[in-house]
Structure 1
């Protein structure tokens, strides 16, 4: 595809998804629709087009046409958007069909192990491997994008859906297509339950990965075969287009809300797929059940500020139309951030992170451990990237001084060898707990995964470590513990044998009496370490045989984050941004390539309090200090347009801020 046809390249990205309901098409007015978008200064919109319901007159008998098409047509809406230079994405959903279509073709349906289908309000779930998704969905796509001048296409609820909109779980699909496909691949019956330790389910995860990849390739060939100019969302096979994600909430999701949702989503997209547009949306509503009321407007603004600070675009998702929405409480804040970006959008094009640390993530991650490390790095003001396993091997690691592997278990031999080579060349690998204990096929390794860690043998893994501590030694490197001699742990601990060159830190105090108070003391201190350091080539491997990230994510005690902060700074030799920023302020640094300038973002998260997002507290008299090769020519706030007080000395740039509201964006020109 010619570069001139890739309209999304170098386009400041401000998307709104109006998830149009059937009834919204009754009286929709194209000019009003566009005028509403222009109030936000949106330049990309996503609207419902095809799949469960056709929002246009369709000629396909297996495509259920909406009976509410009495307002302006999709063609009129698209034409009006294009006249206003607004690109239009078609939202499609092939996870379900209307009941009458199912009754004609019951073989298309998802089938539970008990032989039951999922019929939710007359919409029946269909299987990815069935004839509808494999054969008829591509025909629907071809019709939609050849009869309408869409600029992009998005697939909603793709893959293997095992829950309905009420989050009821139905289990692995046992339709004939799945049975046949799995038997052809592995000569085995489908697993009955989702159990990551079950060898049969491990094969099923590989089956899902392969079938999903094959399906995506088929879809992309269909789309680009007739519309090579179209932008495909989440096109990871070709690594182009946009990555669409959501920052959302759910009523039954464990609390607290993940306050770095937008930062996390944007960071991995920007770091791992630098050629793609990161479009992480702030979902306006609390959950499926309550789509017509908005979450906190300050929560939505925080998400958008995090998107920008981490190099992504802006995205806002509502149910229905902008004009008939009954809760518009989020509009003012969304417009404020969108208008700021409309004025300064060029500043966010062609930028790259200054990060020298990479944090590993991916579909098989221990998310609790990963999120704990995300907080460790963010709240200690380290500049870092997130690399996903799926594409990390295709990227250069040359800019990184350290790579953190947070209990990520299934790693290929190629991946572990790359980590060892990175260490040997002078890098630091921090491997946590069971990282790499299985290969990419989830088969357990019988030898230590990384040579760089200095482990001779994995002896055992104990899960129950209540009342276990580490007795601190080497306190000269752990300056945050002037009056504390213990670090507590919980959950897994890896017992291992190390080579003679590996240095062990701290001493494990095994489970002991904790009640009644009269018998609450320990009598034994072992030689099992809290972490180890092994020289390897020009670098070193650091092994943490327990899970501080998961513990901190769950409990949040400073006893844990101070341990990691000291380890990062005084053992791994990594330097954060200095100054007096409180932990609730996120800091990022991006190079504006080709412009000899840097963007510093500060995002104020003080409004997050318990389970609520309030307006952040305005912070005063902040100071940010980080290395710079030379004195800057100018330091200007993009928010206010004013010069920022600063000084340069001994290779360090100090920037002073009198106050910080939700976020600050500072352009440093050299």
Structure 2
């Protein structure tokens, strides 16, 4: 066993460290996935035809299938008495699917969901299931949510996975809904921290006798310890799963939404609440790819509009944007639907999938082997942001996207883990990043001294007053101050160059009051609400001796503090004056930011610039010396509430900074040459027409 463990460790190390120099050892490392996931309702197991399913996968240019296997219910003839068998199941269905897929060189990843068990299992083992502080269960019809620390997840799940791997020559396993359950997401109801006796016992062991908390209170040190406990137990389970799977075969990929002990990190682009987010796929892929550079990322376009509307698909134009953003940012293609492709209730997206999957297949040598050239990093508040931090973060993304400023996204918790990468950026933006690990804060201080500029917005780093003082010269007086009715006054035309025709900028949402006496420059004096009312009495907007922007200058860098909800305000309302605050700040502290991409293309043309290497099967990966690709994704059809066909854009000019003199420039889809000039490290060319997507290749 020690020899096997050592072998696996060395294999993983060699794969992570030497992947840049070697051919891909594992099939998924080629990073050319074209996934179709069939989330089968139980009754469709009776009607699914393996032959027609495989024909559809081939017709849609898919090379990977995700299909149900077990957990909630078995889609095969299980021999385990604790594994509920799908009553509609045909015994040979899964075997036939796997065999027929393999005949067409299609990989099969089987889906498990260990978040719930059937009522019959619950009645036999109620101690395996979730129970709230109010003695409530989480139930969906006849399925009961389980407790992660109870025997079903800790022991039985491994036996189920082992049985499937032993029965079928699968290429991977996908774990749906891993981790602790506190919500019923299908009904939108929160139930609270699981109070199962197994959870209580294991937490007591972990915390030297502490009582499991019943309330999620971040100010409670016991709850903070509980968060660490959850992370530890999930990683322990994932590590044991990894050992089991890899002992069966190294070539079985582990895919889920977590990052530890997995091979493929999966994310999801879903239709969400207003305002809709057309950059969802770019957001997800850039975040995961830059936060976990040794993993393959697969971002799924979720067909359903919501859990309550499973059979109504997202709009075709939205799906098209998601798929193009996937491949432009370094993911393969991935879609998830209810049931198989025959007799589907909403087939409007089928032409989109067929077209873009075929495009990826034809040109896959140009995808999946990228290195970012961005000099700006935007720090994300987690991998699944929500609430105020999400709105602040998305608003800053929107500003950068519309200004065509290339940037990478890195998850806040991963900063210190990718320190070498972080040190290469010239600007770091913290959009309401309220907490960072000590080692991440130390990294920010180090790179600031070395020449990296930093911008922090709203309540960023409020729990580290010393860091705010050292990096930004700022001290919090009131971080939660309602700014409704207040104004900001542009006061320095040498820095705030976009406000020549404005003397007052309206505000709402948070407007933090900070002592900025430690800064070198104070901008945007805050003006009081004055006298609201009819026109006859308004006025009286006087300075309150606070400022909305502070700049602290160092020998090699400049840092900006914006203790205001600037991102949220732009995300929800979209007034350019608020975007201009950030753009003027960037121009002042990092004027070379706009050199990398210069264009007269409209703001709704998403520009993604990548260094690329030819991604050819069984050849070296990691070498990105072939040149550059400019991905142009047309979002002009997005209106805020609806998605329409993108409007073609004609005759737009681009100037791209390059470190080499190009040998040729051409359109990826047509291979037709693009006229260009090159001088002093910059290439200039015009794109005759931008349809829904264009790829411009600049070869060395």
Smaller-chain TM-score bracket: over 0.9
Match for residue 441 of structure 1? none
Asked whether the equivalents of residues 25 and 72 of structure 1 are also in contact (C-alpha less than 8 Å), the reply is no
Asked whether the equivalents of residues 471 and 559 of structure 2 are also in contact (C-alpha less than 8 Å), the reply is yes
Cα distance in 2 for partners of 1:15, 1:237 equals 19
Match for residue 430 of structure 1? 455
Match for residue 294 of structure 1? 313
Cα distance in 1 for partners of 2:164, 2:88 equals 18
TM (norm. structure 2) is 0.90
Match for residue 559 of structure 1? 577
Asked whether the equivalents of residues 441 and 467 of structure 2 are also in contact (C-alpha less than 8 Å), the reply is no
- Bigger Cα displacement from structure 2, 161-170 vs 335-344: 161-170
TM (norm. structure 1) is 0.94
**Per the alignment, in what secondary structure is the counterpart of residue 519 of structure 1?**
coil
Cα distance in 1 for partners of 2:215, 2:391 equals 23
Segments of 5+ residues of structure 2 without an aligned counterpart are 1-7, 16-23, 614-622
Cα distance in 1 for partners of 2:258, 2:318 equals 29
Matches within 5 A, 1:175-574: 175-186=196-207, 187-234=209-256, 238=260, 241-249=263-271, 253-363=272-382, 366-395=389-418, 396=420, 397-438=422-463, 445=464, 447-449=466-468, 451-455=470-474, 457-498=475-516, 502-574=520-592
| Alignment RMSD (CA, Å) | 2.1
Cα distance in 1 for partners of 2:343, 2:92 equals 16
Deviation at residue 408 of structure 1 after TM alignment: 0.8
Cα distance in 2 for partners of 1:491, 1:565 equals 20
Match for residue 80 of structure 1? 100
Cα distance in 1 for partners of 2:331, 2:295 equals 10
**Aligned counterpart for 2:177 among listed residues 157, 171, 179:** 157
Matches within 5 A, 1:89-128: 89-128=109-148
**Per the alignment, in what secondary structure is the counterpart of residue 476 of structure 1?**
coil
Asked whether the equivalents of residues 489 and 548 of structure 1 are also in contact (C-alpha less than 8 Å), the reply is no
- Bigger Cα displacement from structure 2, 540-549 vs 598-607: 540-549
Match for residue 152 of structure 2? 132
Asked whether the equivalents of residues 488 and 559 of structure 1 are also in contact (C-alpha less than 8 Å), the reply is no
- Bigger Cα displacement from structure 2, 124-133 vs 268-277: 268-277
Cα distance in 2 for partners of 1:58, 1:191 equals 38
Closer, same or farther: CA 200–315 of 1 in aligned 2, 3 Å: same
Q: Deviations over 1:376-404 (max 9, x none)?
A: 11111011100112332122223311111
Asked whether the equivalents of residues 264 and 295 of structure 2 are also in contact (C-alpha less than 8 Å), the reply is yes
Asked whether the equivalents of residues 493 and 499 of structure 2 are also in contact (C-alpha less than 8 Å), the reply is yes
Cα distance in 2 for partners of 1:598, 1:500 equals 43
**Per the alignment, in what secondary structure is the counterpart of residue 293 of structure 1?**
strand
Cα distance in 1 for partners of 2:258, 2:275 equals 31
Closer, same or farther: CA 201–489 of 1 in aligned 2, 3 Å: farther
Closer, same or farther: CA 157–569 of 1 in aligned 2, 3 Å: same
Cα distance in 2 for partners of 1:76, 1:500 equals 70
Closer, same or farther: CA 490–523 of 1 in aligned 2, 3 Å: closer
**Per the alignment, in what secondary structure is the counterpart of residue 216 of structure 1?**
helix
**Per the alignment, in what secondary structure is the counterpart of residue 580 of structure 2?**
helix
Deviation at residue 235 of structure 1 after TM alignment: 7.6
**Aligned counterpart for 2:631 among listed residues 582, 595, 601:** 601
Cα distance in 2 for partners of 1:73, 1:589 equals 44
- Bigger Cα displacement from structure 2, 220-229 vs 60-69: 220-229
Closer, same or farther: CA 5–641 of 1 in aligned 2, 3 Å: closer
Count residues with an aligned counterpart.
Answer: 660
Asked whether the equivalents of residues 235 and 260 of structure 2 are also in contact (C-alpha less than 8 Å), the reply is no
Cα distance in 2 for partners of 1:277, 1:362 equals 21
Match for residue 53 of structure 1? 73
